[in-house]
Amino acid sequence: MNTDHDLIHDLAQMADGTDRMAALRTRLAVAADRDGILDVAYRIVDSPVGPLLVAATDQGLVRVAYANEGHDAVLQQLADKISPRILHAPTRLDTVARELDEYFAGIRRTFDIALDWRLSAGFRSTVLHRLPEIAYGHTASYAAVAQLAGNPKAVRAVGTACATNPLPVVVPCHRVVRSDGAMGGYLGGVEAKRVLLDLESAA
């Protein structure tokens, strides 16, 4: 029969094992980075819109994913589309995490981090590259963005580009709304879109 002392001992061993695993993962990530075999680094960042998976290559931030997208599924997609050499390497994304924290604290209005755009192409990429032109605290309609992207009739395509944006929050598809002023859909969910717009409006 286990005593309280035995239980405490078992819990301490489990915690120690968790710490050792974390240290091992850190050493593995450092070694992989040093040896040039780490193609995609990722970490999870806590935020007012839930945990965000952020991933980067040597070219820059390549993915921001909401929890409702399924983080495991996103990692598999990154493995399929970029490289299977993916590791949880938080320190590689310290700058990304800091800028996101500053944004959610209302003290950052633009992001200065390098971006890897390889997960978007064609007209979708054109749309996404124009979104940062929508100023912080402002919105633009899907129709206005279509015009900005050089194809005024491509309103539906603008919606698709926003719905498949691999870099939400950083590339501000949340600032695109319907012509009647309604928020419209959002890949992170309507509530997340409302939180982001309210944050920017308040700041």
* CATH code at position 79: 3.30.160
Cα–Cα distance, 148 to 139 (Å, whole number)? 13
Identify whether 117 is part of a domain: no
Does the pLDDT of residue 11 top 50, yes or no? no
Cα–Cα distance, 177 to 184 (Å, whole number)? 6
**Cα dihedral across residues 103, 107, 111, 112: positive or negative:** negative
CA atoms within 13 A on the CB side of 64: 26
Identify whether 115 is part of a domain: no
Identify whether 113 is part of a domain: no
Question: Is 152 in the same domain as 126?
Answer: yes
With cut-offs at 50, 70 and 90, classify the pLDDT of residue 130. very high
Question: Is 14 in the same domain as 95?
Answer: yes
Does the pLDDT of residue 2 top 60, yes or no? no
Q: Where a domain ends, among 105, 130, 164?
A: 105
Pairing of strands 40-45, 52-57: antiparallel
What is the per-residue pLDDT for 183? 86
- The pLDDT > 70 percentage for the chain reads 81
173 noted as active-site residue: yes
What is the per-residue pLDDT for 162? 97
Runs of H (alpha helix) within 35-177: 71-81, 94-104, 122-130, 142-148, 155-163
Question: Is 18 in the same domain as 95?
Answer: yes
With cut-offs at 50, 70 and 90, classify the pLDDT of residue 148. very high
Give the pLDDT confidence of 63-98 residue by residue, as tens digits: 999 999 999 999 999 999 999 999 999 999 999 999
Global pTM exceeds 0.85: no
What residue numbers bound the domain in which 195 lies?
122-202
Number of residues written out for the chain: 203
Identify whether 39 is part of a domain: yes
Active-site position among 173, 176, 177, 199? 173
As for how many domains the chain has, the answer is 2
